[in-house]
Every structure is written in C-alpha cells, then in structure tokens.
Amino acid sequence: MLLSCPASDLHIKSCQRARTVYLPPRLNIINTLKRNCREGIKTKIGVIGLQGAVSEHLDAVKRAMEKLGIRGEAIWVGNSEQLVGVDGVIIPGGESTTIGKLMQRTGTFERVKELAKSGVPILGTCAGLIVLAKLGGEHVVQTGQPLLELMDIAVIRNAFGRQRESFEADLEIPLLGEKPFRCVFIRAPAVSEVWGDVEILAKFHEKIVGARQRNMLAVAFHPELTPDTRLHEYFLKMCQKVDSRLSNK
C-alpha cells in the first residue's frame, strides 16, 4: 500500500530545529531484562543529536523501552564524551553530508566507529544508512560525504526522488513479525549492492531499503515517525544481547 507522506513536515521541522546479528531466544531476552532490573542495570542508548530527527528517535526509544519493560534511558549525544557507557547508538535521518561532517568535527565519528568495531549495536536510519556504508554513488562522492565504512554496502542518495516525492508504504519485514510495517520515505536512499555477510531485510520496488550486518542495522526509511515501535524494540533486543554477553563474562 502506497500513500503520500504526511510525516515529511514533521521531519522538516525536526531538521530545522537541529539544522548477521541473531537474537537470543525470547526466554533469554526476558531473563536478561529481569536480571538487569534486579541488579539496577540501565540500558543507555545514545542518539547522535547533531542534525535531523533526533527528538523523534528519543521518544521512540523511550516508548519501545516501556513496551519491553526495559529500565533505561535515551540520551541526546552532541560530543564523543557523551558516548561513554552507551549500549547502542542511533544515527538519525537528516542531511547525511551535514551529519557526517558534524560527527567528524565533534569527535563522534571516530568514536562511533570504535564502538561498532567493539560490538556495540548501531542503528542508522535514512541518512544514517548512508553514513554507515562503505561505498557511495556519484552524488555521495561529489558532496564529499564522510562515510564510516562499517557496513559492506554501497548506497545511492535520493533513490526515490526529492522532497516532493516523499511517501509512505506498508512493507513486509519478517524480523518484525507478520504484520506489515508502515515505512516513511523522505528523500530516501537505497542500497545498490551488498557483499560479505550482509543480510537483506526489506525491499521496495526491487530496491534494498533495509539491511543488517552483525551488530549493525540500517534502514532507508524513518521508523521514528510512526507509532509502531517494533524496529526500535528489535534494536533494543540487539543491545540486550550485548548486555547479556558482557554480564556473563
């Protein structure tokens, strides 16, 4: 199902304000959550807050934590020091070149790369997908887009058109269950090529719009602009898996 995109105005306002991982069995996740609650352990998710849909991600993470019964917090990250002790990082949608360059300027660029390589889960949405990629198309090269080069994917910007071509669509994403997920596409990128152990999670009109590689998750749409928190819940479970592994050492 394809609809026009009422959420695009919300995304524009937000931008103006700021201008193969496998889940453990459900029982293990629940036990981890219960143990963390007993021991007072809080899950800490950092949202890179330099530009883009930051507050919407903060709200989505909080709602997802409430649904899962996770004791934790989502914080607005503006510098590398604020990434100390995080259990997961979200790179939001926005203007990818701006986000990448501001990440370099604030030291968060190298810090996120270090965290990802150490196993900390990273979620990139829309522009965040571009920043996570190893290769970019002609437009990415022309704009001097900084890339973290963490995921074995190549990306193209504005794969579905410019702002006026923004839209919403219901997609089947098996890892989120049988119910279709409402995806908001705003000047959305797409993955043009994958290699290594990258798993394709979703496609729209034969274009790849969702991928996962070990502890990294990237989507071309904006899950934070819908009431459905399933993608954020899935990401939090990835973070809980890391928590469980560390606490069992």
pLDDT digits (tens, 9 = 90+) for 92-121: 999 999 999 999 999 999 999 999 999 999
Helix ranges, 51-188 (H): 54-68, 96-106, 108-117, 127-132, 138-142
At residue 232, does pLDDT exceed 60? yes
pLDDT computed for residue 22 by the predictor: 35
Question: What is the C-alpha separation between 55 and 73, in angstroms, rounded?
Answer: 13
Q: Residues of the chain with pLDDT > 70: what percent?
A: 80
Note if 232 is an active site residue: no
Candidate list 11, 222, 232, 233, residue with the active-site label: 222
Candidate list 126, 168, 183, 232, residue with the active-site label: 126
Residues 6+ apart with CB under 8 A from 162: 187
Superfamily of domain 2-14+23-34+42-242: Class I glutamine amidotransferase (GATase) domain (3.40.50.880)
pLDDT digits (tens, 9 = 90+) for 46-98: 999 999 899 999 999 999 999 999 999 999 999 999 999 999 999 999 999 99
pLDDT category at 240 given cuts 50, 70, 90 is confident
Candidate list 15, 224, 232, 239, residue with the active-site label: 224
- Domain coordinates of the chain in residue numbers? 2-14+23-34+42-242
pLDDT computed for residue 165 by the predictor: 79
Note if 15 is an active site residue: no
Question: What is the C-alpha separation between 142 and 73, in angstroms, rounded?
Answer: 38
At residue 1, does pLDDT exceed 70? no
pTM for the model? 0.83
* Half-sphere exposure of residue 40: CA atoms within 13 angstroms, side-chain side: 0
